[in-house]
Amino acid sequence: MEDKINKILDKVRPALERDGGDLELVEYDKKNKVVKVRLQGACAHCPLADVTLKNIIEQEIRVAIPEIKEVIAV
């Protein structure tokens, strides 16, 4: 499952990198169906990080893997 999630993150990564940011997969919680990511660079301190997390990253993951319930930043 982590490989599948990382492939999705690789799709959204270029948009983050254009703004000086990045992200990494920290953990996939199989029991709770939660993906934990760490925002890096400019994304880590951006006031719109929550919007990016929910409207771009979480949406892309949930479209590809509907059983995922949530994506959170740690």
**What CATH number is attached to the domain comprising 50?**
3.30.300.130
Reported confidence tier of residue 48, pLDDT bands at 50, 70, 90? very high
Q: What is the pLDDT of residue 43?
A: 93
Closest to 52 (Cα-Cα) out of 73, 34, 68, 32: 73
Residue 72: pLDDT band by 50, 70, 90 thresholds? very high
Domain count, the chain: 1
Domain that holds residue 33: 2-73
The tens digit of pLDDT for each residue in 53-65 reads 999 999 999 999 9
| C-alpha span between 20 and 70 (Å, rounded) | 25
Task: Provide the pLDDT for residue 61.
Answer: 97
- Tell me what the pLDDT averaged over the chain comes to: 96
